[in-house]
Amino acid sequence: MAQKPDAGVQVTVGMGTCGLAAGAGEVWRAVRRYLQEHNLPVSLKPVGCIGLDDREVLLDVVLPGEPRVSYGRVTPAMVPRILEEHVRHHRPVEEWVVGRIPEEGRPFPEMDFYRGQQRRILRRCGFINPEKIEEYLASGGYGAWLKALEMTPEAVIDLVKKSGLRGRGGAGFPTGLKWEFARRAKGEQKFVVCNADEGDPGAFMDRSLLEGDPHAVLEGMLIGAYAIGASRGYIYVRAEYPLAVRRLKIALTQASKYGLLGENILGSGFSLHLKIKEGAGAFVCGEETALMSSIEGKRGMPRPRPPFPAQRGLWGYPTNINNVETWANVPLIIEHGPAWYAALGTAGSRGTKIFALTGKAVRSGLVEVPMGTTLRQVVFGLGGGMADGRRFKAVQIGGPSGGCLPAAALDTPIDYDALSEAGAMMGSGGLVVLDDTTCMVDLARFFTAFNRNESCGKCTPCREGTLRLLEILDRITTGRAGSEDLNKMEELAQVMKDTSLCGLGQTAPNPVLSTLRYFRQEYLAHIEGRFCPARVCALNGRGGAAHGPAASGTGEG
């Protein structure tokens, strides 16, 4: 006979965008309906993304004194059996179990996907209810903010400088130095801004963090505002992230209610007012000066620098802009100290980095690894290697502004400088695994088309350069190009890098340059042999397979 569960039983459902897209809403309603029908005293809790995206929907059962048990790819039809057997009879349904979590914040120690990860920034994602400030506080949240209030602003900046934290938005500028510039700038008003305009195709790091642990970002912004002397701030988040926006609004309301935002915070004399600005989805607004124009109600277009935002930013006042992941790192540095923070990583790139691992790997999802981890460790260790027995061809890192690195570069460490030397860039954290069915010329064309469409058009090198690059790539992929076109692309790409106004135009040629560097033979196959080694492009109106062998290994060396 079924027994009612003991008090303290908890059921969690992954309710990030990844989970909801897989059907978490229906699973949630099925759990709630079962609990109500059977009058079970079970706590039902929504949580953010724990990173294991290819196993969504994730439903976890926590019995008092026992490890948390996770079920993967759960459907509403599976719910009654899980709750009946596990919750009521303490017998896990082993055939559906993904893994067990013996300790909060350290998911699935037995899984290869989590071996090699160091989940510092993501430690709460998947464990706390992101819509309950009480759970954030119970996990030590806002403790770093209280500690910072006992320090001078200059001391806070010094800790961040000593930690070696560099901006996680892509450029990698030292965060503490950026804060120091803003602190020293003269202005009767100063601003802090969170750049949550995550626009790279396939990237979902910032979105998942905002959905799973929004208060960590707010706490980092509080500390940064105190350090530079700002009393107003904005979170610039794209409107395509409705769940992140909703949870941010809840977090702001809760923080204000608890006296952690607003006037005279905790009687300290320091005040900070934060607002959400929803962006319309323009990729260029990820560039900080274009982002500021958008906040001011203008068209999102970059401004010449100098002056830099630290001197003249929003409405002419000193402004400090960091991205979501950068802000979330700050409480860790204040709480544990710069030496603890800098113990992970490399000499030039400290701490951890979050990546959205996608593409043709066996496993995909959200990963957080120490700086210095190699691409091979991520792709073949965490990602499990290539799906469907295909051959690895390249990894595309850094989004539309990044580069494609071949098998010979797999031992490149994830480090700002090492990736740059290899012809790629860290970017915000998109990492796409490509197999031998990918045409590198077609891929370069895809990203060039994206950059062309997203160019604001303000400066000639970017506006015209992206279009001309795309025209040449169109000719190559349709069998209408000559060998001289490769030289034209390289020359044009260099001009764009040297003369474009902002980072979009300066980095837009990277996909072309990196594929030319490592996969030049594939370009020549299109131009001289009139065939596509990956059998993707239709040359002269015909499929590439009709013109030559599928040289799936082209460029791997």
DSSP 8-state assignment for residue 316: G
Task: Tell me if 359 is assigned to some domain.
Answer: yes
333 and 295 fall within a common domain: yes
Domain count across the chain? 4
331 and 189 fall within a common domain: yes
Residue 105, pLDDT score: 82
pLDDT, tens digit, 9 for 90 and up, residues 382-437: 999 999 999 999 999 988 888 999 999 999 999 999 999 998 888 878 899 999 99
Q: Last residue of a domain, which of 403, 435, 467?
A: 435
| Higher pLDDT among residues 131 and 172, named by residue | 131
CB 133 within 8 Å of CB 258: yes
Nearest of 181, 185, 13 to residue 83 by alpha carbon: 13
Task: Tell me if 21 is assigned to some domain.
Answer: yes
pLDDT, tens digit, 9 for 90 and up, residues 181-200: 999 999 999 999 999 998 88
Task: Tell me if 114 is assigned to some domain.
Answer: no
How open is the CA angle 241-384-198, to the nearest 5 degrees? 20
Half-sphere exposure of 476 (CA within 13 A, CB side): 31
The encoded tokens of residue 249 equal 């609004």
How open is the CA angle 370-49-196, to the nearest 5 degrees? 75
CB 405 within 8 Å of CB 375: yes
163 and 58 fall within a common domain: no
235 and 285 fall within a common domain: yes
Amino acid at 453: N
493 and 393 fall within a common domain: no
DSSP 8-state assignment for residue 58: P
Q: What is the DSSP pairing of strand 273-279 with strand 232-238? A: parallel
Sign of the CA dihedral 257, 262, 264, 270? Answer: positive
What is the CATH classification number for the domain harbouring 35? 3.40.30.10
Half-sphere exposure of 398 (CA within 13 A, CB side): 27
How open is the CA angle 47-53-54, to the nearest 5 degrees? 140
| Whole-angstrom distance, CA of residue 298 vs CA of residue 109 | 49
**pLDDT, mean of residues 99-128:** 93
Alpha helices in 258-323 (DSSP H): 288-295
The encoded tokens of residue 274 equal 């934060």
CB 290 within 8 Å of CB 456: yes
**CB-based contacts of 80, cutoff 8 Å, min separation 6:** 30, 34
Residue 399, pLDDT score: 85
pLDDT, tens digit, 9 for 90 and up, residues 4-39: 556 689 999 999 999 999 999 999 999 999 999 999
Neighbours of 90 (CB within 10 A): 14
219 and 167 fall within a common domain: yes
The encoded tokens of residue 507 equal 């980095």
Task: Tell me if 557 is assigned to some domain.
Answer: no
Amino acid at 539: L
What is the CATH classification number for the domain harbouring 416? 3.10.20.600
Residue 544, pLDDT > 60, answer no
pLDDT, tens digit, 9 for 90 and up, residues 460-513: 999 999 999 999 999 999 999 998 999 999 999 999 999 999 988 999 999 999
157 and 96 fall within a common domain: no
Residue 190, pLDDT score: 98
Q: Last residue of a domain, which of 282, 312, 341?
A: 341
CB 124 within 8 Å of CB 139: yes
What is the CATH classification number for the domain harbouring 515? 1.20.1440.230
307 and 364 fall within a common domain: no
Task: Tell me if 32 is assigned to some domain.
Answer: yes
**pLDDT, mean of residues 143-171:** 95
Residue 455, pLDDT > 50, answer yes
Report the range of poorest mean pLDDT among 5-14, 353-362, 544-553: 544-553
What is the CATH classification number for the domain harbouring 243? 3.40.50.11540
Question: What phi, psi does 534 have (nearest 5°)?
Answer: -90, 0
| Whole-angstrom distance, CA of residue 148 vs CA of residue 77 | 49
264 and 374 fall within a common domain: no
The encoded tokens of residue 306 equal 């100098």
**pLDDT, mean of residues 312-337:** 97
204 and 286 fall within a common domain: yes
Q: Last residue of a domain, which of 409, 435, 461?
A: 435
For the whole model, what pTM was predicted? 0.93
Task: Tell me if 17 is assigned to some domain.
Answer: yes
54 and 167 fall within a common domain: no
Amino acid at 455: S
How many Å separate Cα 223 from the centre of its chain? 22
Beta bridge partners of 430: 356
Residue 541, pLDDT score: 42
Average pLDDT across the chain, whole number:
92
CB 79 within 8 Å of CB 332: no
155 and 244 fall within a common domain: yes
Distances (CA, A) of 289 to 297, 457, 465: 13, 15, 21
Sign of the CA dihedral 136, 167, 365, 113? Answer: negative
| Whole-angstrom distance, CA of residue 119 vs CA of residue 122 | 5
Nearest of 522, 527, 518, 460 to residue 492 by alpha carbon: 460
Task: Tell me if 41 is assigned to some domain.
Answer: yes
The domain in which residue 475 lies consists of 440-546
Sign of the CA dihedral 505, 511, 514, 520? Answer: negative
Residue 254, pLDDT score: 98
pLDDT, tens digit, 9 for 90 and up, residues 243-257: 999 999 999 999 999
Task: Tell me if 61 is assigned to some domain.
Answer: yes
